[in-house]
Structure 1
């Protein structure tokens, strides 16, 4: 299991970044089978390609500016904004200004560990 499985107190500096591609990296901060929190850092121009999964997802824009597409809706979101992705709905992100997303999944994303 990933070292942050069911960790109660998690120090950011204790976890390494996982490189997704040259413009995106992520940290799985903590999770159980039912819930997972992941930090995703984007450089400007980073693309979270359109995809879908059975998990519910809610994401908080902790920094930067992102063009978010969920189903047939697209909107530019910035610091403090939130978006919700229902199960199996096609969605993606384009980073317009470098930033950070905090993603929460139910159940946890087994493909991330």
Structure 2
């Protein structure tokens, strides 16, 4: 990866449509981190998944329900709130409203970059 600064305009980045169009995202990444803009339609469900990255989710509009089955916890994260998800903690999400949020990951999510994030590519039935 190039060791020089890179500047991008969010509007110029590719926006991916996932889970039958209920989730849209675009992201930038460096060697050690990734930042994503994500839009979810009300009712969108992101299946339980786990990754080695620490995740910081900021909700700007709407609300997300984050489900941590292994700990029995559920957190409703609303506009103006943020949640930190430690590495290797399985979690799922449901959009309680149409939601715009940002996820920051460290290390970066190589499964997103190389398209092996199957949990986001196959709509739930």
Tell me, yes or no, whether TM beats 0.5. yes
Partner of 2:75: 75
Partner of 1:97: 97
Alignment of structure 1 residues 1-113 onto 2, 5 Å: 8-22=6-20, 23-28=22-27, 30-70=28-68, 71-113=71-113
For the Cα contact (< 8 Å) 1:7–1:31, is it kept in 2? no
Give the root-mean-square deviation of aligned CA atoms.
Answer: 1.7
- In structure 1, the gaps of 5 or more residues are none
Deviation at 1:39, TM superposition (A): 1.0
Of Structure 1 and Structure 2, the greater helix share is in 2
4+ runs deviating over 2 angstroms: 6-10
Of Structure 1 and Structure 2, the greater strand share is in 1
Larger radius of gyration: 2
Deviation at 1:7, TM superposition (A): 6.1
TM-score by length of 1: 0.86
Partner of 2:122: none
